[in-house]
Amino acid sequence: MKGLPRWLTELLLIVVAVLLIRATLVQAFNIPSASMQPTLLIGDFILVNKLVYTVSEPRVGDVVVFKYPVNPSLDYIKRIIAGPGDLVEFLDLEKNGVRVYGVRVNGQEYPLKFRGTRRFNGRTYYEFEESIPLDGRRISHSVWFSSHPTKVAGLTPYVRVSCMRYRYNLCVKFRVPEGHYFVMGDNRDNSEDSRFWGFVPRESILGKAFVIYFSGRVPPLTPEDVNFFTGFRQLFLALINPRFDRIGRSLVY
């Protein structure tokens, strides 16, 4: 790079290093919608490990970023509920007087423990702690059910799958195809996920979310609204409306 000013050479080296890291190791994303609440809020900025799944396979319970199967130009974030070959069943349940739906995978139910009532943006949610068995232990995270939901406990007719049991025209017992993953949002009554558009191919998974590096109050976006410029706008709004209590929260079990 002879002939270039030193500051310009250093800037170019920094840009190349950042692009290399972004392409191979770590990438930053911001959360545009409420589908992963209460785990991730609108305005959370997260780092995603892009290397981890080159040396290991995605696991049940991981919060992952992936290419949206309906439109691969968009990135989505959800939690893996079941993996390749897993047998999934949806259960109609009543917990603490609240009608909810649970999940059973390979004969093991993911227990739900009532944690209380939450208010968010004028709506009431019931918060439960869901436990997922993993490597001989259980990992826990919070999920929300709406007080006035359009409950979807199962796969809609638009998801083509060999179904073992139907309820209310929804498939409530099925097996995840090999090479695919079944994902859902933690905000169970406010998330478009595998229940609506099907399974996520292994090759579409970009990485594992592992930490919230910044957070602030920002307006919601649809996935289609997210681009380079809206990302900077959201970050600017977060900087002037920060939520310091969320910075540094780990998403790794």
pLDDT tens profile 145-169: 987 665 668 888 888 888 888 988 8
Angle among Cα 30, 197, 105 to the nearest 5 degrees reads: 90
DSSP-assigned states of every residue in 139-166: EEEEEEEESS-----SB-TTS---EEEE
Model pTM score: 0.85
Task: Name the token pair of 178.
Answer: 């090999």
Collapsed DSSP state (helix, strand, coil) of residue 52:
helix
Q: Is the pLDDT of residue 77 over 70?
A: yes
Collapsed DSSP state (helix, strand, coil) of residue 244:
helix
Place of tokens 């957070």: 215
Q: Is the pLDDT of residue 23 over 60?
A: no
Collapsed DSSP state (helix, strand, coil) of residue 70:
coil
How far apart CA 75 and CA 24 sit, in angstroms, is 17
81 contacts 184 by C-beta, under 8 angstroms: yes
Least confident among 15-19, 97-101, 234-238: 15-19
Radius of gyration (C-alpha) of the chain in whole angstroms:
20
Task: Name the token pair of 213.
Answer: 């590096």
**pLDDT (0 to 100) of residue 17:** 44
**pLDDT (0 to 100) of residue 11:** 45
The arrangement of strands across the sheet holding 87-95 comes to 108-109, 98-105, 87-95, 170-175, 163-167
Q: Residues near 142 by Cβ (< 8 Å), separated by ≥ 6?
A: 38, 39, 115, 127, 128, 129, 130, 186
pLDDT digits (tens, 9 = 90+) for 202-225: 999 999 998 888 888 888 877 667
pLDDT digits (tens, 9 = 90+) for 24-68: 556 778 888 889 999 999 999 888 988 889 888 999 999 999 999
Q: Is the pLDDT of residue 103 over 60?
A: yes
Query: Band of the pLDDT at 227, cuts 50, 70, 90?
Result: low
Q: Is the pLDDT of residue 4 over 90?
A: no
Task: Name the token pair of 210.
Answer: 């592992």
How far apart CA 167 and CA 60 sit, in angstroms, is 25
Least confident among 151-160, 162-171, 192-201, 241-250: 151-160
| Residue 95 backbone dihedrals phi, psi, to 5 degrees | -125, 120
**Separation in Å, CA 238 to CA 165, 166, 250:** 46, 44, 19
> What are the residue numbers of the active site?
35, 78
Average pLDDT over the chain, rounded to an integer: 84
**pLDDT (0 to 100) of residue 151:** 61
How far apart CA 1 and CA 4 sit, in angstroms, is 6
How far apart CA 201 and CA 184 sit, in angstroms, is 14
